[in-house]
Amino acid sequence: MMLAGRTIVITGAARGVGLAIAKACLRHGARLGLADNLEDLVRAEAATLAADGGSVRFVPINLADPASITAFADDVARTEGTIDGLVNNAAIATNVGGAAFEDIDIGLWDAVMTVNVRGTWLVTRALSPVFGPDCRIVNMASDTALWGPSRLLAYVTSKGAVISMTRSLARELGPRGIGIVAIAPGIMRNEATEYVPAERHAHYEN
């Protein structure tokens, strides 16, 4: 899909992978809606990108709060009418590893599932009325869901669920002309992965 003049919404866009995706889309002429709960940071990034001549606006969102997701979708519908692309990138990825499976805090487990799995579903559902006729959706999974590292069970499970969700949604959205894929990148050096031990980074870099 050519991006010039297309409206792309990206969640988790304040930093890391989401911000990199936003910059790449902007270079190809897309109009951007950046969503994140790190409000001050994403506002600053949106202002910086807009100052370079891009069409960029910020929409606050809290993926743990269904009411926030509804308000976010209403804002997008009111200002954009339709969207041409959605990147479900927002997720809890920081400080979610290290504990053995029997020691994982239940509150942490629930938070990861709420944001990474339910949040991806609710954002997609909330925005579905404004999907353009050839809208494309990218769900951010992780290669950890494919090889299953130890002591990262909540995150790995959540990203496996995102992959399965995407397969099922493809069957529902495909007949409407809407494409959806999940991508599963390896670990990247950014703010969200600063806690990851050096040897795990080395696993990917060697």
Measured between alpha carbons, how far is residue 143 from residues 2, 3, 80, 148, 182 in Å?
A: 27, 27, 33, 8, 11
Partners of 137 in the β-ladder: 86, 180
**How far apart (Å, rounded) are the C-alpha atoms in residues 47 and 43?**
6
Q: What are the b/e assignments for 158-168, b being 16+ CB within 10 Å?
A: bbbbbbebbee
Rounded (10°) CA dihedral 91, 95, 101, 107: -70
Helices (H), 52-192: 66-80, 106-113, 119-127, 144-147, 153-173
Largest CA distance in the chain: 51
Candidate list 7, 131, 155, 178, residue with the active-site label: 155
CA 78, distance to chain mean position in Å, is 22
Residue 204 annotated to the active site: no
Residues designated as active site = 155
